[in-house]
Amino acid sequence: MKPRIEVVAIDSLMVRLFDTIDEGNMPWILAASQRLRAAFGEHLIDLVPSYTTLMLQSDLAPAEARTRIGQALEGLQPDTGHSGRRHEIPVWYHASVGPELALLAARSGLSEDEVIRLHCARDYPVFALGFAPGFGFMGLVDERLATPRLSTPRKRVAAGSVGIAERQTAAYPAVSPGGWNLIGRTPVRLFDRERDGYSLLQPGDRVRFVAVSHTEFMALGGDDRPLEALA
């Protein structure tokens, strides 16, 4: 493992570990993140991990930052201790809150129940947070569920909406525009400024979606108003 270090801005460097998206990247990214945080300490301004990279912004001179990154990542080993957490996220899968559920079924030739079962059938690592606070890019979903983004994004997607784009899946933490195929909604608060760490999901965590009934969804504090009512 010989990471590449690239210039991105006056005070920022990109640490590139991989060239392709793979679930196997995450233990390495996580390990690199921990080592870099320790090595930079209070000199670290921001560290943004993503699928194959970590962007590091620091207050050190570029040459010094580069040296420190090199030293910190020497002999890097993947973090197999599962320091990331595992979350079970309840989802009410239903056409009124997941208008593309039928589309996914039609595309794959599966029943809607089969689509739901496949979406709940595996743990998804959180590759990166981005797009909005607490929005975790997860994957990869079963190939039969892979669906391109909507050609015209919705102006408004309800908070908690669970969607699929290509082979990635995510839940929208707050109302926002969005182009993902929606298949259900979770009552879980994904970003909460009162919570320690703010975001439920952190890069490297794993997520298992669990189908719940409408009754359970409401009991958990869900908002079942259909998309149109929220538009």
**Residues that bind another protein in the complex, under the rule CB under 8 A:** 6-12, 14, 20-21, 33, 44-55, 57, 61-63, 128-137, 174, 176, 191, 193, 197-199, 202-203
Strand partners, 139: 168
Strand order in the sheet with 12-16: 4-9, 12-16, 53-58, 44-49
Nearest residue (CB) to another protein, 15 versus 115: 15
Nearest residue (CB) to another protein, 99 versus 125: 125
Name the minimum Å distance from CB 72 to another protein: 17
Inter-axis angle of helices 101-108 and 112-119, to 10 degrees? Answer: 100
Nearest residue (CB) to another protein, 46 versus 74: 46
Name the minimum Å distance from CB 85 to another protein: 14
CA atoms within 13 A on the CB side of 1: 19
Burial of residue 36 (number of CB atoms within 10 Å: 0-12, 13-18, 19+): buried
Q: CB–CB of 112/118 below 8 Å? A: no
Tokens found for residue 205 = 């965590």
Nearest residue (CB) to another protein, 135 versus 217: 135
Name the minimum Å distance from CB 66 to another protein: 10
Name the minimum Å distance from CB 218 to another protein: 25
